[in-house]
Structure 1
């Protein structure tokens, strides 16, 4: 390492896990955490590519940690380790000398040399402990030794993988994990693996200019940045997940058999066909936020997802799928109360419908009955 480069030099233990990934354990003064590590907050760049992975600062949580660190009794205990991803340029030198007899060869003692650079160009990133690091930087008690576990991460994908797995058991935002899942390519626990494909479809729809959902989906990275992003991602992901895993779901036919490959493009096209027709059939309701339209409300999205499976089941034998879907929706359009009126069969005002199971099921039943009655009439 270039000795002219300003750096933090600390004692550390080195071990390895998994694919021979170097893991380091050391203590650092609390105020030095944000001198060596950046907080990579989740956002999308001008090309709508996902950057970062962290949650936004939770001020109340940070302040409560600061209050604890600055308590006057002097008995502050801070045993919770901060987890960092280190750039490969961080250098480690093992301590020379003879080991004592019987020493377990699990870890080696040595010295870490971590470059000190400006924000946004630092040699480490916080994977777990963002709020604690912010609190340590604001606390009066800045010299408290803080335990750190760090690993070498050659790229952003490795950082995201560890972020998801480390936070899996914590109350991490479902929407944040949903948006991150499509960006990683690794072995996932089963409960995360089944969520990955619906999340991928949701992200693709939000980025594709030809999609009816283009920049309309509210994801963790778009909070407060895009007024047109009004459709909550979790509602759509729930629609896709149910359709993929239900025997009657239209997306299930593209799932493959056994361990066969999924036809993701087939799923994507089916989704686009149906929801483009929804947008064209209900242009006003589609353009409004959930407070003014129950079509863009999570309850409406989920109920229409059930109708998607029903209508699209009639499509395969027709060459002009768009026409079939558009005709089916146009036959029930007059009876849909997305922005005003009372739903027949529900006896509920349009804005009384909420995102709760009871209301969603009731709305699904009304839409299915409207579609069934309209289909019968079209045959007579």
Structure 2
């Protein structure tokens, strides 16, 4: 949203300013068809350098069509406010002297608008489907309620997660957003901030075994489920080999060492079973949730207590190769116990099957 060399007009919107501590929130009304004159949708993606850009999921066309039909019907009403994040070019002008005890101040929100260019001083945090429906609807205008605040990019991501905390946001989208989100996050998301950050680094390293193989919104061609990788990392962070790199007090950690530790072990896995590693879960249980989690426990058993700089790669390779004698990643049978023999794809991503496979693999590497 560059502000250089633009000729702007100012849109004056009746508004209420509400103070929350040191922050200000603006509640205002605007014609939904005018909203896109000064807001844009920040689509999630990654630049050439791998940096996260944006945070919004793609438009859901079926949802937009349904809302549009409703807007075009008699008596349509959208009472919920859309949420926008402004840059610091937006100003509020109170209409009268303010009493310091008042909860809200009446005034005008002055929003710069560049009708002839692409400058937009606000990003749409919540309500993109409703705004798209109003944009496409065959109505002359449709006034809506809006709430705005001033924030930078990282805080916008955090607010996007919080606003959608009670709505079904795709988990993959959340996993990509939380490492770069600033400020407060619900505990269930805060716990995954570090694992998600490590996972993204694994997926972005062109020299690592996971490069673009983990399926995320910015890596849609990946075939390993992000949740499988996250569970494997979480298990190791809180109870396994990666725990040594983590600060249990503030939840931070030596991410560089974690990534190196994971890539060392999983490069041995990918080298031991190259064809199975390059196959999707429906053709290989190695890249399936059961295989990823079980081998994660094997990594913990073989490397716990050692810094990545002091791991004996040759010894780990020897023990991993022992698994080839009993593995059935893409064909054959798993002999999980005296009375439990499964076809290679009979293993499911359930706690019981993960436990059975883990026990089999651990017995093998410990022989």
**How does the TM-score come out when normalised to structure 1?**
0.86
Aligned equivalent of 2:134, options 133, 136, 139: 136
**How does the TM-score come out when normalised to structure 2?**
0.89
CA distance, structure 1, for counterparts of residue 192 and residue 217 of structure 2: 16
For residues 199-348 of structure 1, the aligned pairs below 5 Å read 199-223=196-220, 227=221, 229-246=222-239, 249-256=240-247, 258=249, 262-313=253-304, 319-345=310-336, 346-348=340-342
Q: 1:259 and 1:36, CA in 2 relative to 1: closer, same or farther beyond 3 A?
A: closer
5+ residue gaps in structure 2?
A: none
CA distance, structure 2, for counterparts of residue 141 and residue 318 of structure 1: 65
How many Å apart are 1:318 and its aligned residue?
Answer: 9.9
Aligned equivalent of 2:72, options 55, 70, 73: 70
CA distance, structure 2, for counterparts of residue 22 and residue 102 of structure 1: 14
CA distance, structure 2, for counterparts of residue 212 and residue 120 of structure 1: 40
How many Å apart are 1:130 and its aligned residue?
Answer: 1.2
CA distance, structure 2, for counterparts of residue 21 and residue 198 of structure 1: 31
What is residue 190 of structure 1 aligned with on the other side? 187
5+ residue gaps in structure 1?
A: 376-380
Aligned equivalent of 1:357, options 345, 351, 354: 351
CA distance, structure 2, for counterparts of residue 98 and residue 294 of structure 1: 69
> In the alignment, is the contact (CA less than 8 A) between 2:37 and 2:113 conserved in 1?
no
Q: 4+ runs of 1 displaced by more than 4 Å?
A: 1-4, 117-120, 257-261, 314-320
What is residue 37 of structure 2 aligned with on the other side? 35
What is the aligned length? Answer: 361
- Superposition CA RMSD, Å: 2.7
Q: 1:102 and 1:230, CA in 2 relative to 1: closer, same or farther beyond 3 A?
A: closer
1:104 aligns with 2:102: yes
Q: 1:50 and 1:119, CA in 2 relative to 1: closer, same or farther beyond 3 A?
A: farther
- Deviation per residue, 1:334-367 (Å, 9 max, x gap): 3211111111224222223232333323322222
How many Å apart are 1:220 and its aligned residue?
Answer: 1.7
Q: 1:69 and 1:368, CA in 2 relative to 1: closer, same or farther beyond 3 A?
A: same
Q: 1:192 and 1:343, CA in 2 relative to 1: closer, same or farther beyond 3 A?
A: same
